[in-house]
Every structure is written in C-alpha cells, then in structure tokens.
Amino acid sequence: MGTSLAFHIVFAVLGVGLPLLMLVAEGLWLRTQDEVWLNLARRWSKAFGILFAVGAVSGTSLSFELGLLWPRFMAFSGAIFGLPFSAEGFAFFIEAIFLGLYLYGWDRLTPVVHWLTSIPIAVSGALSAVFVVMANAWMNSPAGFKIIDGKIADIDPIAAMLNPAAFHEVVHMTLAAFVATGFMVAAVHAFFLLRDRSNPFHRAALGLALAVACISMPLQILSGDLSARAVARLQPAKLAAMEAHYRTQAGAPLVIGGIPQDQTMTTDYALEIPRGLSLLTAHDPNARVVGLEEFPRDR
C-alpha cells in the first residue's frame, strides 16, 4: 500500500494544482486576448487529461486496498469516517463531468462558458484532496464516536470529519499541492526556456507557475508551523519519534541528522540546535517537550 500511495500522490498533487494553472491561464486569455495564454491552457489541459485518468485508476486501487489489506480496521472504523470518502467520490464525479466538458468543449462552447467549466474542475479537485485528508486526519486524531462495552456507539460523522487534526492537515496538504505543482511545472518550462530564451510560451508558463508556487510558499511555512505545534499537542509520542527525542526536558534541542540508538536513548553524530524543539513546538525556548521515555515500548 505504501508503494501505491507513493505512486498515487504524484497524480493527486498535480490534480489539485494544475487545474488552478489552467483556470488562471484561460482567464488571462479572456482578459488580454493574448494567444499565448490560450495555447498554454490548451497544452496543460491535454496533460491534465492524462494525469487525471492515471490518478483515477491508481486511486481506485487504493480504495480496494483499504478493504483487502486492512479489513479489521475498516470494519471497526468504516462507519465513523466513511462520510469524507463518500464526499470525495461526489467531488471526483463532478470533476470528471466538467473535465469532459472542458476537454471537448474548446470549439463547441463560447469562450466564457468554456472558462466557467474550469472552475468546478479546480474546486472539486481541491475538495477531493480535502475530504481524503480529513479521513487521514481522523486516524491521527479520532473523534465523533464513543466506545461502550467494547462496541462503537453515538457516531457523529460530522464531528469525525471536523476532528482536531483536520484543519491544519487540510491547509498544509492543499498548499503543498500548489507549491509542488508550481515548481514542477516551472522546472519543465524553465528547461525548454534555456534552449530558447525568446520563446513567449515557455516564458509565460514559467512566470505563472512560479507565481503560484511563490505565493503559496510563505503560507506553507506558516501552516507547517501550525502543524508542528498541533502534532506536539495531539500526538506527543509521534513528535518524539519523529524528532528522536528520547528524554522529557524543558528547553529541548532540535536534533538534525544522526543515527538514533534506542538502547542508549541517544542520537549519534547529530547536530543539535539548543532549545530548538521547544521553540518550534510551543514558541517558547524553555517549554517542556515530552520524550519517548514516557511511552511504553509495546504501545
């Protein structure tokens, strides 16, 4: 499943970011009547059609793997966080419908109507990611149910979707998609621009892709800070494991690199930034950070 996820995430990320580039490019053509923007939107739409098809197939295989590889987990939790998966299915079908109109409507729809069909594609593509990340967030911060006598009761699907980890994970992943897509598309057009520096097509594409990436990047830094502090609050064991932080202490250092040694609870050859971890997790260089020693190894 890890291999499937690693393959699918590439197409999922491009499925969120590329429709935004198409939307903006065609909008700039409507405003300026510069054919470069029209050609750019057409070229990107062809690439997106292929990426969408491959992403749909790889995503379908993942949905089967959830039931085949994790049957007991899905039997336990499917009724709790099944709603975001269902909502993602609706978003996917809306995106597929309007993508068909977009791809086959270049010479059949008026320019404005054709541009309008790109809006549901961009919105539903982003919503697909939002709903899936909500399901992932629930696994990090379960909510919306009670366990009574060993059985699930009082299920609240909305509370499960809006669990404590949902907001920061959704924001972080959406911005990550825009950053990754922007820089990936910029890299492709930068390569061709180096071969022909006067090409207006690649110059316009590079400028637009970098604009999306560079606008999203500062916001991503802020969302990363929000996510780090949320993990420290909601999942202290995960934070300690990620940062190789073995011993609970105030003014905890940030460990960069090195080889963790579980037996001695040390990290060999590591570079330590004094009080760095406390500063990142609590905005307080003297804050107390819980270490792995607080959690039993068999849990």
What are 171-223's pLDDT values in tens digits?
Answer: 999 999 999 999 999 999 999 999 988 899 999 999 999 999 999 999 999 99
The arithmetic mean of pLDDT across residues 231-259, rounded, is 93
The arithmetic mean of pLDDT across residues 96-121, rounded, is 95
DSSP per position, 121-165 = HHHHHHHHHHHHHHHHHHHHS--S-EEETTEEES--HHHHHT-TT
The arithmetic mean of pLDDT across residues 37-46, rounded, is 95
- Report the b/e string of 233-267 with b at 16+ CB within 10 A: ebebeebbeebbbbeeeebbbbbeeeebeeeeeeb
pTM: 0.90
What are 74-93's pLDDT values in tens digits?
Answer: 888 888 888 998 999 999 99
